[in-house]
Structures are given as C-alpha cells and as structure tokens.
Structure 1
Amino acid sequence: MAKVTSEALGTESVGKLLIKQAVPASIGILVMSLNILIDSIFVGNWIGSIAIAAINVVLPVSFFIAALGMAIGIGGSSIISRALGADNTEKALHTFGNQVILTLICTISLVVIGLLFVDEIIPKFGGKGDIFDPAKIYYTIVLYGVPILGFAMMGNTVIRAEGKPKFAMIAMIIPTVGNLLMDYVFINLLDMGMHGAAWATTGSYLACFLYIFWFFSSKNSELKLSFRHFGLQKEIVSEIASLGGVTLARQAVVSITYLLMNNILFNLGQEGLVAVYAIIGRMLMFALFPVFGVTQGFLPIAGYNYGAQQYPRVRESINTAIKYAAFLATLVFIGLMIFPEEITALFLSKNPDLSEKELALNQFVLTHTAKPMRWVFAATPIIALQLIGAAYFQAIGKATPALLLTLSRQGFFFIPLILILPKFYGELGVWISFPIADVLATLVTAYFLNREIRKTLITPKPVN
C-alpha cells in the first residue's frame, strides 16, 4: 500500500512538526475565544444589554453541542492518527464514517429534544422575565444549526489528525470572521435585531461546515469515504465513546467548577469577588492559548508515531512538547506576575458617567484582582507536564488513564480544595486552591507518564 501524505508525521523533524501543528492550533483557539468577546460587544452596542443576557443564556447549549462534536472528533481522530501511522487506511476510513453517523444521530436527537422542550429549557438556563422572548428567538434559530456545528467541530479535529493543521486553523477562523461580518449586515444594516444575531451565528456555522465539506471532497484529504464506511462498528464506536468521553467529562467538570466558584465567592464577597473571578476566568481562557495549542499539536504526532511503533519519536515528541509548552507557560506566568493591575484595567469601563455603585465595584475589582491573579497563575510554568501527559494517553488510545489524569486537577483536587480551604482561610483559601491543585495534578501525571514511558516506549535490551 502506498504511503499516505500524513507520513510526514512519522518522518519530519519532531520540533518542526510540533511548530507546524501548534501554531495554527493556537491561532485557531485564540480566534474562537475572541469571537465570543467581540460578538458580545457588537450585540450589546447594536441591540442592547438584554440581548447580551439572552445570548449568554443560550451559550451553554452551544458549548455543549460544540463539546459533543469535538468529543466525537477527538475520540475518532486518535484512532485515525494511529491507523494512518500503522498504514491501515481502511480502518481510518471506517472510523471517519462512524464519526459522521454518530454526529448525525446525536445532533439531530438534541435538536428534536431542544425544540420539544424549549419553554422548559430556557428558564432553567436563566432565561426568565424580559430575557425569555429574545432568548427563545435566538435559541430556536441557533438550534437549527446544531447539526452543522457538530459536524464542523468533529471535522476540524479529523483534519488535524490527517496532519493538515493549516486547513484546521482556517476552519476555526471562518466562523469567527463570518459571524462578525454577518452581525454587521443582519443587525446593523438590515436591522433584524435578535433574529439577525441568531442567523449570523447559524450562518457562521454553515460557512465553516461548507469549508470542511470542501476539504474532505477535495484532493487535500486522504479520507475518501464510500457507502460501506458508514456502517457502525461496535469496536470503533466503543473506542470513540471512551476516548471522546474524556473531552465531555472535562467540559462537565469545568461547568461544575464555575458554578461552585461563583456561589462560594458570592457568599464571601458578593458581586465584587464574582467580578474578580470573571476577569481571572477570562485570562485562564485567553492567556494559556499557546499552551493549549502545543497540546493540540502534540496529539496527532504522538498518535501517528505510536501507531507506527516509532517509539523513540514518540518519546521525543513528549519531551519536545513539554519543553515548548513549559517555555510558553513561563512567559505567560512572567507577564501575569508583572502586569496584573494593567491587565485588570483593560476589562473595566472608563465611562465617567457610571453610577456610584458601578464606580465602587470597578474600584474594588481594580484593587482586589492583582493578588488573586498571582495566586491563580502561581504554578503555571509546571502545567505543561500535566497537560501533555494527559494528552499523551488520549493520543495513544488509553481512555481510562487519559480520563483520570484530565480530571485530576479540577475534579480530584481543585473542587475538594475550594470546598475545604475557604472554611479555614476565607477568600485566600479559594485562590491558593489553584496552585495546590496544579502541583498535585502535575505530580500524579508525572508519575503515571514516567511509568508508561518505561513500560511501553523504552525498548527492552536483548538478553545476552
């Protein structure tokens, strides 16, 4: 069988490969994160604050669908990378076909359920009073685009599994640019209000889907499906579910964490501490994007070479990814340690006509965010090992350790810490929970990663 073009993952310099994979992934993650922020600014200026609240009500639904598509994508992409590395193109094709069918079944089911119980679901997410009607408009229209969003998120990870990070980056940029342009046309020019905001979002999903469909239909992709590849295979579906479950579980734990943090901080310091955490949460989302990009770029390299049984290259990819991610994490750490006040000020309104209550809240946030931010990011330089270690087990198809290590920081350490430490140390107990959880999770990951490398990746010496 002729070698597929993804063979560069097994032959090119690991350092160069990681840069080629990580830079587009980082840019894509950054652009998608910025989309939410800029979209909210446009909607708030052109429709009003109620519209922002309405969109915020629907965002958890969109995030869940995106996470579901990404879970199916990441779970299957791990199989695809290893199959291509083992020169088993047929298995890669069957996996991709199964991903398509699973995404179709899951997303259509969610659309039906979402439309049947729309009046019950929206209030549960906070869409009450004046927010209900605009939220229902936005929710209903966006829900029509759910299958498209699911396919877009799934397809993006498969593109990266083929070793085509630039195409994956473009696929992530298209919905961001498309959404902002369509916001301007539908809301500002055509004055369509909430309907315009919803159709702009759905239209951006469609633009992304069309690009991904073009990619897989063109000569750029190695995965050319035929009808036989769509038949669900129990073994493949099971592996996709187990590996993809890591992504879904991580998203669920993140949601629980935000829920707990908001309640604990409100009890300790009312709106002021909640606002402090909102800014720190934004920094957790944006500041670490290059580290997450290295992690995403590492996945197909490790998976392909593991499938090809090129274990020295797998070890090299682990070491190189940790070094690159640690360097970037350290730069983030230095910036946040030196400029926390300046960073905080970027998020606060400069309008002199704010009410006394709003001005007092701004002043509280400005003077109370620097110390918590330093605590939250205190262990940032070492998180590279934890992220790469957990990603390695996902890349090679070992779902259980991947799940446990992924959940270790927030699920096993952070959540218990924020439930216990504030009882003894008050507000400080909340913030010191972050670096303690980072250190504990990193130590656990280092142990299991080192054991796995010695057991699997170091070829035993022949007995004389």
Structure 2
Amino acid sequence: MKAEVQNAPNPLGVQKESKLLVNFAIPCIISMLVTALYNIVDQIFIGQGVGMLGNAATNIAFPLSTTCTAIALLLGIGGASNYSLKLGAGEKEEAARYSGNALTLITIFGVALFVVVELFLTPMLKGFGATKDVLPYAETYTRITAIGFPFLIANTAISKQILADGSPRYSMMSMLVGAVINTILDPILIFGFGMGMAGAALATITGQIISFSISLRYVFHFKNIRLTKDSFRLGGRYVKNIGALGASACFNQIAMTIVQIVMNNVLSYYGAKSMYGGEIPLACAGIITKVNMVFMAIIIGISQGTQPIVGFNYGAKKYGRVRKTYLLAVGAATVLSFVAFICFQVFPRQIISIFGAGSELYFRFSERYFRIYMFLTVVNGIQPVTSNFFTSIGKSTLGIFMSLTRQILFLLPLIIIFPLIMGIDGVMYAGPIADAAAAIVCGYFMIRELKELTHKIKESKEAE
C-alpha cells in the first residue's frame, strides 16, 4: 500500500493550476502574514503602552528582523527550490541532500547572528539611526528579541521546505500558533506586568520558539524523502546551489535592510531640520513600513505559493503549466495591489491611529507620507512574483537582478539624492518613482521569458 502511494502521480504535475495555486498560496499568505503580525502586534501594543518613542525603537530594530528573514529565505527558498527541481526530475536522494544541507546551514547562521548582535548591539543600533532618546528603548527590545533569532530563522526556513514537500497547511499552522501566542502574551506582559518593551520582546520570542518546535517535528516526517546522517553533511555543490537559488529572495531582504538603515538616518537628519523633528518621521515611517509588510506578505505569499508548482513542473518539462501558474499569480497579485492602493489613499489617518495617539503634526506628516510614498502600490505585485518565478525555474542570476531592482537600483539612490533638493519630502517622492521603474524592468524580462516558454511548449508538442 505504501509503495502505491509513493508511485502515485505527484499532484503538482497533474492537478489544475488554479486549484494548486489556491492550495499552496493561501497557507503561504497566512504564514507570511503571521511573520508580519509579529512586528505589527508589537508595534500596536508598544504604541498604546509605551508611546511614540517605543514605535521609533521598533523601527530602529527592524533591520535585524529583515536580516533574519534574509538568512531564512536564502537557505529556506534555496533548499526548497532545489528540492522541488530534483523531486520533479525524480531524484529523491538528491532532494534529501539539499534539504539536509539547508538544515545544517540554518543552524550555523542562526547561532552566528545571535552572537554578533549580542556583542555589537549598541553600535549597531546607533548605526541604524537611533537618536539619544530612542536608543534605550531599542536596546531593551533588541537584546531580548535576539535570543529568538535562531528560532525565527529556522522556523521560517523549514516552513519553505515543508511547503515544497507538499504540506502547505502544516507550514501555515507552525507559523500561526506562534503568532497567536505572541498576540495573547503582548498585552499581558506589556500592560498586566508593566514590562513595556521587554514584555513585547518576551512575547515575541516565546511565540517564535513554540513555532520552531512545531516545524522541527516535521523534519522527521517528510512525505517524499527520508533524511539520513549523510543528508546533513555539507557538500560544496549543494551549498553553492542552495545559495544560488536562495540569493534572489535573500538579496531582496538585504536590500530592504540597507534601504531601511539609510532611510532611518535620512529621516532623522532631515527631520531634525524640519518642523517635525527627528522622532516623528522615524515613528511614522516605521508604522508605514509595518503596514506595508501586511500588504507585501500577501504578495510574497502568492509568489512563494507558486514556487513548488513552478519548480516541479519546470523540472518535469511541463512548460504550459509553468506559464499558466505564473500568469495566475501575477494577475492575483495585481488585483490585491489595487485594493491596497485604495486603502492607503483613502484611510491613512485611520490606519495610523491603530498604532497609538499623537499630535496633529504627527498625523499630518503620516498622512502625507502614506499617500505619496505608497502612491504606486498598484504595481508592487509584479516584482516579487517575477523574481521568485525566475528563482523557481533555476535562473538565479535573473532572480537576483529582479530582487534588487526596486530597493538597490532605484530606491536607495533616490532617497539619498531627492532630500538634497526637497528636504524630507524627497524620501516620500522616491517611493513611487522606484516602484514604477522596477515594474517596467520586471515586465520587460518577463515578457521575454513568456515568449521563451511558448517556444518550448511548441517544441514539446512537435516532439510528441
């Protein structure tokens, strides 16, 4: 009976593409939303219980969260993409080696990041743009959350492998349980025990450790492979290929981290020269970044949901299914981007109010920042879906390039140059210009790839 189950056709290669996308994307979206919720929930309760300086502190600490995500995606997406390609080609032993190597690297990188952060915390936070008043709050919060970094990295990375193995609901559950625990503990520790920033940090790491424990259990129960001791022994070829296919998602997060650090420093510097002061722009930008994370979590969830479908079918040379899956994903992402655009333009004050009270000057700056910086949200679904698509089919160089277009090639130079001319308003206008440029570049390369897929489909039909 077991042999019959193992020899049955993999649903990734035969089931209707739209059904597969729903089945895989929804758990991915929920998992990504959970990751965003860790930051959002902390931001809301900190805003209500600690105030504007607490909100600014979480913004200062945010680059370390994106660093964790960068490492997790490097190893998680890298391992999962290679896993899917090998599984689609029927090479299960190779798939197991990629999974095991990724798990070994996850452990090494997670512990290393924790040690570095604990040793160099204060200079790092100052480098991230912390002002004198914000620094103590940021130190308290980050020194505790750093304990959870290895667990956060491992859980996020393992969830990608669980997804590639065909268990999207389990992946979703592992993330969801931790978020629920964090949400319950936040008000208890922040308000009930009066622990402020420390309470929010303890709630966060408790949820992360429990989520990790759930994900770790799956490692011993993969559906399609069996891990052995040899699977965990690092091999140069496996490490190289994991890095190559994980680089796109990783570089996108690194780019976000670099942009966030530069933006924090720019906002502090030019904010101090404006009527707003240094703290209001830092707090507002932090909130808007976290809100945008919710929208992007949905988009990235869709793109990651396509990874096992696209990777398996490309490995199996079913190019028509590959093309259809991409078009469905980019269409869904564009519709959701339009909905987000409406929300950001019509309800900015209401959204900001969720994160605590502030002066009229605080709300006025927030509304302008929201409406201008997020003006071209409607095209923001194209880049992540396209970048992940190229990674899923093994074209890592294009995937990396796509992941860097908005953040590094366009946004980073603009947030440095525009404020020289326009002051703090320059940061706001840099956003939509970078969004438009990235969408145009990604669109060009994707049209070219779709033509190539069409050609391969014709060749496959002629060969038959």
Aligned to 1:387: 384
User: Pairwise mapping of residues 391-410 of structure 1 onto structure 2 (< 5 A)?
Assistant: 391-410=388-407
- Please state whether the residue corresponding to 2:445 is helix, strand or coil: helix
Distance 1:411 1:98, change over 3 A: same
Distance (Å, rounded) in 1 between the aligned partners of 2:198 and 2:425 = 44
Distance (Å, rounded) in 1 between the aligned partners of 2:452 and 2:432 = 30
TM-score, L = length of structure 1: 0.84
Distance (Å, rounded) in 2 between the aligned partners of 1:375 and 1:19 = 33
Distance (Å, rounded) in 1 between the aligned partners of 2:331 and 2:62 = 35
Distance 1:182 1:336, change over 3 A: closer
Pairwise CA distance, 1:256: 2.5
- The answer (yes or no) to whether the contact 1:288–1:332 under 8 Å persists in 2 is no
Deviations 1:103-158 (A, max 9, x none): 12222333444455567656656789798788666655544443333221210111
- Please state whether the residue corresponding to 1:80 is helix, strand or coil: helix
Aligned length, in residue pairs: 451
Match of 2:306 among 289, 298, 302: 298
Pairwise CA distance, 1:345: 4.5
Distance (Å, rounded) in 1 between the aligned partners of 2:417 and 2:195 = 49
Distance (Å, rounded) in 1 between the aligned partners of 2:359 and 2:47 = 20
Pairwise CA distance, 1:314: 0.3
Aligned to 1:177: 180
Most deviating of 395-404 and 328-337: 328-337
Find out whether 1:256 has 2:264 as its counterpart: no
Most deviating of 95-104 and 450-459: 450-459
Aligned to 1:235: 237
Find out whether 1:359 has 2:367 as its counterpart: no
Match of 2:346 among 338, 343, 349: 338
Find out whether 1:443 has 2:421 as its counterpart: no
User: Pairwise mapping of residues 18-417 of structure 1 onto structure 2 (< 5 A)?
Assistant: 18-42=21-45, 59-117=62-120, 139=142, 141-183=144-186, 197-218=200-221, 221-265=223-267, 266-267=269-270, 269=274, 270-271=276-277, 273-274=281-282, 276-347=284-355, 349=357, 359-362=359-362, 364-365=364-365, 369-370=367-368, 372-417=369-414
Distance 1:347 1:198, change over 3 A: closer
- The answer (yes or no) to whether the contact 1:5–1:222 under 8 Å persists in 2 is no
- Please state whether the residue corresponding to 1:207 is helix, strand or coil: helix
Distance (Å, rounded) in 1 between the aligned partners of 2:288 and 2:228 = 48
Distance 1:162 1:437, change over 3 A: same
Aligned to 1:454: 451
Distance (Å, rounded) in 2 between the aligned partners of 1:339 and 1:298 = 31
- Consecutive unaligned residues of structure 2, counting only runs of 5 or more, are none
TM-score, L = length of structure 2: 0.84
Most deviating of 240-249 and 404-413: 240-249
Pairwise CA distance, 1:340: 3.7
Most deviating of 78-87 and 409-418: 409-418
Distance 1:380 1:4, change over 3 A: farther
Distance (Å, rounded) in 1 between the aligned partners of 2:363 and 2:65 = 34
- Consecutive unaligned residues of structure 1, counting only runs of 5 or more, are 350-357
Residue type at the aligned position of 1:364? R
